[in-house]
Homo-oligomer: A and B are copies of this chain.
Amino acid sequence: MSPTATERRRKHWGWGYEDGQPSREELEAAARGIRERLGFGGDSVEEPVPLEAIELPEPRVEPPASLSDLFRTDRYEAYASNEAELEAVLGWCAEEGIAAIPYGGGTSVVGGVEPRVGDGYRGAVTIDLGALDRVLEVDPVSRAARIQAGARGPALEDQLREHGLTLRHFPQSFEFSTLGGWIATRAGGHFATLYTHIDDLVESVRALTPAGTWESFRLPGSGAGPSPDRLLLGSEGILGVITETWVRVQERPRFKLSVGVAFDSFEDGAEAVRELAQSGLNPSNCRLLDATESEITSAGPAGKSVLVLGFESAHHPVDGAMQIALEAARGHGGDPGEVKGQSTPQPRRGAVRENPPVRGEGGSDPVGSWRHAFLAAPYLRDTFVACGVLSDTFETAITWDRFAEFHGQVTQTARRAIAEACGVAPDGAGSPRLSCRFTHVYPDGPAPYYTVLAPAKRGGEIEQWDEIKAAVSEAVIGAGGTITHHHAVGRDHRPWYDRQRPDPFARALRAAKQAVDPSGILNPGVLIDP
């Protein structure tokens, strides 16, 4: 069993560690602030049901004596600490008809690791990969590293830092999510352009399937048949358990510049972002916030849309690129604030901890404020819910030609659905908030990300969100967007994913799974039916 698992316990309900739960007094202060700021919520504080009060059904299956060391049937986790143990567990599951669910950080927001596997299984086993958390090998010449799949963001970056290197994949879930989980779900990360998904940082993948080890050769690029890695990327655990991977890493950036650029309207900002996304400048940060999002995250002046723009390089100053980008932004009415950062190189190595701050480290400038709010969002969400505010998100991608109409339709549907689900008026003071930002942008279109803040129905929050989510999902795919840009499909997105996926591809994927997992034990119910 991994020692790290006992040291600090994760919350059973909510984001972060048990010891990080805000106190009653802190929550009550937050509730007052929320009510003042939003005009709803905050009339009372409800804390999560304590773990002791939760009745869990007894496990339906009993592991054989030979594997019992690997299993924990209390309310926490079960670990395999090497591939032989993983194989043994998979073998037992296949033999006994037990669903096997690979588990990384457990941060799925789409039911990706929930044991909703249907009645065709004797039980479900969650295979926690947390003990496989090492950087095994570093190739500084090719800028690549072999890393175990269970490594969480901070642990992975800490180990790479010793070599002056970084993966620079910082999804919002960075603190708890794992490399294997990122690959299985095609996670979106730090870079707003170019290397948006983890897909682009993967050099080769090793996965255990019931039919043997699926491991691609370590190559910078190959044109030999369809890419084996690309079939594992996004496979969400249905084809195999990813155990390790070679990823492309980088020298830590020594030149960094960032700036907030205000626009009168989201539309003007979107046109500026389109030009930037098509310019070939490839900024590392290029996130457009609408006025509501900007207000909530204190990123910019009231009523303005704000573009959070940044360039970084380990190789050369980025002042020239920033200048060209600002000129482009001004051409669309953008009003840049002060450019902050490093024009002269920072020392190549150092003890400076440079992971994204995970909590409590606010920023003194608009860009820092936004960055802080971005990373604190999962924590804030728990506080919102405790204070009676429903807080959730949905995200997509769409081509530029359809964006304006898409955005209009989706926001209209969302506002109506939120108001209905909350029993309030869609507009006016104290009405629900719907905000939008671009998390990633491409030459051919943006990836819009929507955040909802609305009065919660106490005790009915899940049903309330399900109602809203179903309505907005219909609107998103009806207007031509993808059901998910980087949140994955899991079990929750299935109804819409099934309608968007080419039917022959669904057949091909089902057959591929059958070929490598003949007993159908691997994470049944995500992506395809068992």
Contact = CB atoms under 8 A, between A and B. Distances in A.
A219 B186 CA distance: 15
Given A222-B482, A280-B313, A282-B282, A143 B443 contact: yes
Given A212-B503, A397-B221, A504-B211, A142 B228 contact: no
B144 A399 contact: yes
Residue picked from A142, A143, A316, most chain B C-beta under 10 Å: A142
Nearest to A205: B502
Interface in A492-517: 493, 497, 500-505, 507-516
A27 to B, nearest CB: 34
Interface residues of A, number: 99
Interface stretch (A7-15, A60-68, A231-239): A231-239
A97 interface: no
A183 to B, nearest CB: 11
Nearest to A209: B504
Contacts of A315: 275, 278-281, 324, 328
Interface string A149-189: 00000000000000000000000000000000000011110
Contacts of A320: 320
Contacts of A505: 214, 216, 228, 231
A510 B160 CA distance: 38
Interface stretch (A74-82, A115-123, A483-491): A483-491
A231 B282 CA distance: 27
A214 B502 contact: yes
A141 interface: yes
Interface in A269-313: 274-275, 278-282, 313
A224 interface: yes
A196 interface: yes
Nearest to A197: B223
Given A225-B236, A234-B226, A516-B508, A445 B500 contact: no
Contact of A510 (B224, B279, B281, B515): B515
A220 B141 contact: no
A415 interface: no
Given A139-B401, A401-B141, A511-B512, A484 B221 contact: no
Count of this chain's copies in the oligomeric assembly: 2
A225 B511 contact: no
Contacts of A316: 279-281, 324
A374 interface: no
A279 B515 CA distance: 42
Given A219-B445, A516-B507, A142 B399 contact: yes
Contacts of A124: none
Given A280-B313, A280-B315, A320-B320, A222 B397 contact: yes
Contacts of A279: 313, 315-316
Contacts of A224: 234, 482-484, 488-489, 493, 497, 500-501
A141 to B, nearest CB: 4
Interface of A: 139, 141-144, 185-188, 194, 196-197, 203, 209, 211-228, 230-236, 239-240, 248, 250-251, 274-275, 278-282, 313-316, 320, 324, 328, 397-401, 440, 442-447, 480-489, 493, 497, 500-505, 507-516, 527
Given A220-B398, A507-B516, A508-B515, 12 more contacts: A203-B399, A212-B503, A220-B397, A220-B400, A222-B397, A223-B234, A223-B484, A224-B482, A224-B497, A240-B504, A280-B315, A509-B512
